[in-house]
Structure 1
C-alpha cells in the first residue's frame, strides 16, 4: 500500500484528503508543518475605515477572503466591508479567492490570476497611481507588497490569520530518506516554505530535495502558487492538478499511484 504524507495546516482539509486516499487503497500520514490560527491584533474596524474610499482591493487567497469576512462579521461590520468593496476594483490571486468573493460577498473579481507574478503583470495599469488595499494570507509577502507599492499611490494591508511552525519536518524527512513515503503533499505555499526552512536549519534540505529530484519520492502541490514555492527550493512537483482544489488534488494523486495499487482506485467526487 503506497503512503502519502499530508502536510496541511488545516486538520479538516487534511481529513478530507485522507478519506479520499484511504478509499482508493492509499495510506495517508498526517504530519502538518504549519499551524494556522487567527491573527490576534488585526484591527478590522480600523482597516475598513481606512480603505472606505480606496480604488482597488487585492485578495491573495481564498482564506484571506473568508477570514476577513469572518472578522468583519464578528465586529458587526460585514455590510460596511461589502459596501466598501463594491465601490472598488477587486483583484484575486487564484480561483479560490474569486469563488469566496462571489459566495461570501456577492461580488465579482475583475481580474483572476493564479500567481502573484501573473496578477501584477495583468493588473499593472489598474494599480498605477491608485489607492490599493491587500488582504494577505499567513505570512506577509514582502516582495509582492513592494511591487504593488511601486505602482500604487497608497497601500494598506491586513493579515487576518497567522501561521506558526509545526515541527514535523524532521519526521517527514526521515520517511522520505528511508523510502517509507511515496508522495509528500503540500496544500499551500506556506507549508512548502515551512518544510524546507525547517530542513535547512537541520542540514537536511538538500538530501530531501535530491530524493524528490530523483523521483524516488514524488512531490504533489495543490496548484501553481504552491508549485512555484517548491521551485524556489530547487524541486519541481511531479503532481499538480488541473485546478487548484482539494478534490482535484486527491484525484491527481490517485491517478499517479494507481499502477501501484492492488485494487482499482475508487473515483472521488
Structure 2
C-alpha cells in the first residue's frame, strides 16, 4: 500500500469528482494517471442530435432564410450539426444556405470543420474566444444582418443580447443540448460525498454541469450546504470562465487554466493541489495531509474516512490536547468514547507510525508536534508514552 516519495504522483491521495457527461472518461484517465481517485456523477446528459427537434427546427429555418453570417464555435458541434442534417435529408440544403453568407470560426477546430464541409471561413480570432468574435462583429457593424450562432451546449445570452442591441437578427443553433441525467443516482452519490467531506476537488467542464449540480442540490434541499462546501474545503476546478459563471455568481471561488482545455485544466490542478496539503513535523517525521491519505516521510499511507476526520481535528491544534468528546463530535456515526479509541487505533495503524498520535492520560489525544515548531510549548499534559516507545 505504500509508495516512496519519488514515485508519489502529484494528485495521489486526492479525490476528484467529475460532473461531465461528454469526455468524462478522457478527463478521468488524465487525472488517474496523476494519482487521483475519481468519483463520476454526471450532472447532465446530451440530447442525441438525430432526436433533437429544436436543432431540426433551427436548421429548417436557416435553410428557408439563409444567414448573412454564421459563427461556428466548436468543431465537434459544427460537424455534428452537418451530420444530423444529412440524416434528415437536409445536409446539402444546409451547406448551400450557409455558403451564401460569411463563415466565422471561433478557433482552429471549428475552422477545420468548416473547411472539411466544403465551405470557406473568412475570419477566426487568435484568442479562440467568443468574446473576441463578438467584438469583431460589433466593430464591423451588424445592423440589419441575419446571424446564426452555433452553440456548444452552453447558451450565450450575453452574446445574443449584444448582437440584437446592435441591430442584428440572431438565430441560435442548439447543438448538443443538455438535459438532466436519466439516472440521478450517480449525481446524488457525488453530491452526498461532497457534503460528507469525501471529495477534495470538483471538476466542471461546462456551465450546464455546474448549474445542473446546483439545481439538483436545491431539489434535495441541500443547496446552501453545497455552496458552503464549495466556498470552503472543496476546490471548484473549471475549464474556463463560461463554465465558472454559475458558481462565481454565488461567490464560489474557482480555479481555471489560462487556456480552456482539458489538459490545461489538469495541469493547473497539479500545480494547485500541493498547496491544499497540510504539512507538519510530527514525532520525528514529516507528515503531509492530503484528501484521503497521508505522506509520512514521503511514503503514501491511505487513511480510512473516520480516522482521517479525527486526524484533521488533531492537526488543527498540533501539539495540543484534543478531548475525546471533541473527537467524538467530529467522528461520523460515533456513539461513545470507545468508538474514538477504536478510530485512533485505526489511525495509528494506517499511519504506520504509532508514536505520531499520543494519548494524554484522562484528557484525550495530541499530535506529537516537534518542539519549537509553533505549538508555543503547550503540549496539553503528560503523555503515556513518547514517539520512541509508542503510545498506549
Normalised TM-score (structure 1): 0.79
Equivalent residue, structure 2, for 1:178: 196
Question: Counterpart in 2 of 1:201?
Answer: 219
Question: Which residue number corresponds to residue 17 of structure 2?
Answer: 5
Aligned mate of 1:236, from 253, 267, 279 = 253
Give, in angstroms, the shift of residue 180 of structure 1: 0.8
Q: 1:245 aligns with which of 243, 261, 281?
A: 261
Whole-angstrom CA distance in 1 between matches of 2:237 and 2:114: 27
| Alpha-carbon separation, structure 1, partners of 2:40 and 2:118 | 33
Q: Go from structure 1 to structure 2 and tell me whether the alpha carbon gap of 1:185 and 1:100 turns closer, same or farther (over 3 Å shift).
A: farther
Match of 1:19 in 2: 29
Query: Which has the greater radius of gyration?
Result: 2
2:50 equivalent to 1:69: no
Whether contact under 8 Å (2:199, 2:234) holds in the other structure is yes
| Higher deviation after alignment, 254-263 or 120-129 | 254-263
Q: 1:117 to 1:247 in 2, by over 3 A?
A: closer
Q: CA distance change for structure 1 residues 129 and 213 in 2, over 3 Å: closer, same or farther?
A: same
- Specify the alignment match of 2:243 in structure 1: 226
Secondary structure, aligned partner of 1:128 = coil
CA 1:88–1:4 in structure 2 vs 1: closer, same or farther (change >3 Å)? Answer: same
| Counterparts of 2:128 and 2:245, CA distance in 1 | 11
Evaluate the alpha carbon distance shift between residue 32 and residue 148 of structure 1 in structure 2; reply closer, same or farther with a 3 A threshold. same
Q: Distance in 1 between matches of 2:271 and 2:120?
A: 36
Q: Secondary structure at the match of 2:47?
A: strand
Q: 1:223: how far off? A: 1.6
Deviation at 1:235, TM superposition (A): 1.4
1:146-157 → structure 2 map (5 Å cutoff)? 146-157=161-172
The structure with the largest helix share of the pair is: 1
Counterparts in 2 of 1:193 and 1:163: CA distance versus 1, 3 Å: same
Instruction: Map 1:83-232 onto structure 2 (within 5 A).
Output: 83-92=96-105, 97-98=110-111, 100-101=113-114, 107-108=120-121, 110-112=123-125, 119-124=133-138, 125-138=140-153, 140-142=155-157, 144-166=159-181, 167=184, 168-214=186-232, 216-232=233-249
Of the structure 1 ranges 15-24 and 172-181, higher mean CA displacement relative to structure 2 is found in 172-181
Q: For residues 109 and 190 of structure 1, what CA distance do their matches in structure 2 show?
A: 30
Higher relative contact order (CA 8 A, sep 6+): 1
Q: Does the C-alpha gap of structure 1 residues 84 and 22 become closer, same or farther in structure 2, counting only changes over 3 Å?
A: same
Task: Please list the CA deviations of residues 221-266 of structure 1 after superposition, one character each: whole Å capped at 9, or x if unmatched.
Answer: 112211233212321212x122212222222223333575969xxx
The answer as to 2:39 corresponding to 1:29 is yes
Question: C-alpha offsets along residues 41-95 of structure 1, whole Å, 9 cap, x if unaligned?
Answer: 224652341243x211133445432321221232454454444434433345566
**Aligned pair count?**
259
CA change 1:43–1:247 in 2 (3 A) is same
SS of structure 1 residue aligned to 2:121: coil
Task: Report the equivalent of 2:330.
Answer: none
CA distance in 2, matches of 1:105, 1:255: 42
1:21-59 residue CA offsets vs partner (Å, 9 max, x unmatched): 11211111111000102252224652341243x211133
Please tell me the root mean square deviation across aligned C-alpha atoms, in Å. Answer: 3.2
